[in-house]
Structure 1
């Protein structure tokens, strides 16, 4: 066509070059902005870590200053220099020192737990009491792996000078925590031999970790503090194994201030005074959040500009090349010269489109090839009970494209007999072929089934969409499976056992029915049965009850989350497994009830319940449960206990939400006149994410936070308009609007009249 001539192409290329020049400049600006944003983010986090370091070192200096104050304490000096047990005990002096040191523990959280050991009296002084037998103190406050005699010998009877013992497990009144220990002998010039007194300060790891909690709360990262020898002083957001792995990894530069490691930005600061190493890790995606916003905006604007510019270039090239092309045609006709034949401009485009189609086909084939693996992984998670809710199952089923929709059906395990204990290559190949034949035959039966391999000789089959109200489905499934077994044996000499579960009424029960099928299969193998074995026909006498650890942990976590319905479902499954499916002895029933009572006692000893007003009542109800009662009565008692605990959790959640919303509304009421007040500022004030605050405010009040802010401003504006002190423009500025035009529009939208009309109506 004439409009796509060589002249047209030259015009178009010139326009494209002109279009690319600002695009390249924009790209360079974009790269610079990304680099600056990343640099600022790193600098801000380094500053925050240094701030935490300064605070911690200042607090440790306060601990050191505390020991120096004790060294100057006259009453303590008198006690240290007395002969001690050879004369009468200076009880008044001990009492006086006790009163002097109480104030330290009340004003400094680093000094909440410390003691002073007087060597001459063999007495240990704490802010709360005095122990003339230090071993009695050690019974309640002790290191987990340190015997009392070694504690006394290494900590109390040796000389220490500003010594810090790294993080160690510590037990306080039966509750385990971790502490670092600061030790100073008195007098301060005790360098050898036995000290007259020893000051020991126990600093809880949680107190130190709280100084670095902003990094974890704000960025979801981790922090680690170690001494000059590499011993851990504090951990937050990671475990000891990860810290050791980081320290031993040769690819990680221990001296570098900031570097990326395993997709985390790791910031390292070394203290010049103590030699301690402060290290914090921030996820890359959090660090680059602002940079990604710039990237998205830049690419969107650039793409739009390129598209618009290209369209304009096409139109300009066509408009400018058409007259010249017509002129050339006229000249060729006049002179009888043929135009030079050039390369077709669509060849390059055609080649690239062909490559794109080929690549797309190849990608589609690869995804189709991997889809069975995704389905198989989904089914394995389903029968293992790894899903926590129906919504999670529905999302995973849609991703795996399984078509799992019905809520009723059966779970079955088909085992190929005759291959037990055989695991050489030939047998495995033969089993693989036999499984394929069996699965293909089941698929050809026309039933809606889902299958996954279970070992070399077993296949789990989920029959979906089969009603369970009558015996007809059981008989139909049994007939088809018997025909399947006969067909496989007749055609391929494959013998199978089919273990069937009871029907499930929701997909959440598939893992439970899978366990039933396993028990039925175990019974069939034990009794050397063939054909179809139903779980209802395979009740095994059991000398033990069913209450595995993972079920107990799920039970506890469900109650702690306040999900009463799911807790009831788990309890019903436990009781059904033990009462309906097992023949428990009286002794085993008593032990099962004891285990259930123990589960609730574990729950009650957690801080959330222990500090509540229902603690004693629920505890007494748990202990009053008698194992010799009927199981229905025990079930009713446990259900009422669960309802009380879940109700407490729900109440605490509501109270916390209401307090947060009240704090937000108070802050808006104080700061409504600030034109920069927005959701980000409010979220920053209450120290919560913006999305969380927005959804919570909407849920509690029924209105958006922005609407509430606007309503507060309009109410204040309406009050000011009732007087003549300020003009409308001044009132707009006083209620947080930079533009009086925006204020007038908002006022009319909320109150239905303009500010001037409202003032006039109130005056009249």
Structure 2
């Protein structure tokens, strides 16, 4: 009966627990089936949606083309209107034309076209009605000569240009036409396809400007399509512009402002511009869309072959992987049941596994004996792991701190000199490891239960169990200080000692206490020991209004002597009151921030400033700080002074106005009115000259001033926002985080730590 039961159980066991070979083969086959299913689904889905995707793609391309054309035409109109305000134009508007003054206008046109090449302007013609004279970039002539010889067009003759004085409008965009020049042999030369835009200024109605746009250059810059069959139509669907290869003379009815229409074998994608009222049309042949939906027989054959090959490889790999695992299982079964090992496998990896299994079994007894030592090591790593998350949850440390045993936490902050980092290839962690080994050796000799952990590449944490004998701990830390003083040229430290605690739940408090205490370190390169019992209030450094005005004036004017005197006076004051490293760093940050703003205002290369910031990070004494400023400030002021000689009047006015009125309501329109230029021109000009958008620069100035106010404990966040020009606290919070990376409340917490 037992034999029959065992035979009945055997198939059930095989079915319930399949072999590794079975699972490997099923897994690989499943992956192959999933990949094939995904490929087939992708192909079917692709065939079903390719037409919609191609249509959507062409709609997006045409929309981009339309937006680029509309934006560029608006920019050209604004630019030409701005040029029409040129004082030479008004002065020349008289019956007797002054050709000497006209030559200056020619120079102005040449200069304007050279500096605005991105507008695609081939030329600008200024037509004076009173004197019947036309001026362009290379010459001035009577209007009939200009339009009958130099700018000849079958579409726009001399009479057409005369009639434009009688038509009442401010601007007019004309369909493109071919303009050419007549040689002495009456042969047309220098033919080019141009789009004329007529701009009139109401202050001088007897003068208008013809801006000639290079139609082909604009088309090549903005057209995005797989074909070159592109048109621009007016309201009556007459051709306003057509590419060289375009042959279309009749268009289907285009209803609405955008969409597409299929007629015969072509798709007509169209989009109407809101600014000009022109309709942009792109013609796509039907075969370029339908051809994407056909099955590819080569793809099908390759897919079938790939599936067959994948199935074969899956089977062979499963067999090869299963064989050594099966042998390994058999060997372990023989070893654990007392049977001798079989002969070593011919496979190198399997033979190695056999040897390691024997070694692990033989070492089992030794591991049991050394369990206590391993538990101690585990406790050490548990401390490190929990300390990484101490800000979020310190409850895990209850089991690691001995209950009812008084303890103190000592945080070691190490500062490495550049010469040491060069010798050890910037490997701070390796240097910290050596110092940790020394500190741990001394502490375990005097306090057997103490732990010394490495938190960061430059931070150590020691947990010391001791009674009320603080003098003994003070002697120990003083001994560390004396030893570390021997290598002060390479490294110095700050040792922050927490108060005495007993309960494990207070570990988080003690650790945070040492981190706060580190901020009270005096600014020098000596090894310092800081005790929680002597902790004083942390002081922030900020500039008084007079100091603010002095440093800004010195930087903006490149006044080296005044700037050096300011630095020496402030450093002397900090040295006299033995300022903390936190306060000195705040002073350095203010100086660097003001210098950055001076660099932006004067469009200077920031490489010199970046080098100065890097050197400041490794300055740890007042002498080093003074020497560094004396070395670098002349270079900085010389750069600023040389740049002041090439002062840009527009950007300088903006900088000066914002510096004095940043708390007021400031808009781009208001600033453009003050400069008597257009809003779009000021926006483009300011971005090109400074690399920064006008709105971003306004917010940069305001956030910088807000940082200074928040450094003072007597100013509320809402008051700081209002004082720098933000009436909405949400806008202030959003802009502050954009430029600093933290919210105002987070910034204030960091400043007060």
Q: TM-score, normalised by structure 1?
A: 0.30
Q: Which has the larger radius of gyration?
A: 2
- Flag the structure with more relative contact order, 1 or 2, with Cα contacts below 8 A and sequence separation at least 6: 2
Q: TM-score, normalised by structure 2?
A: 0.31
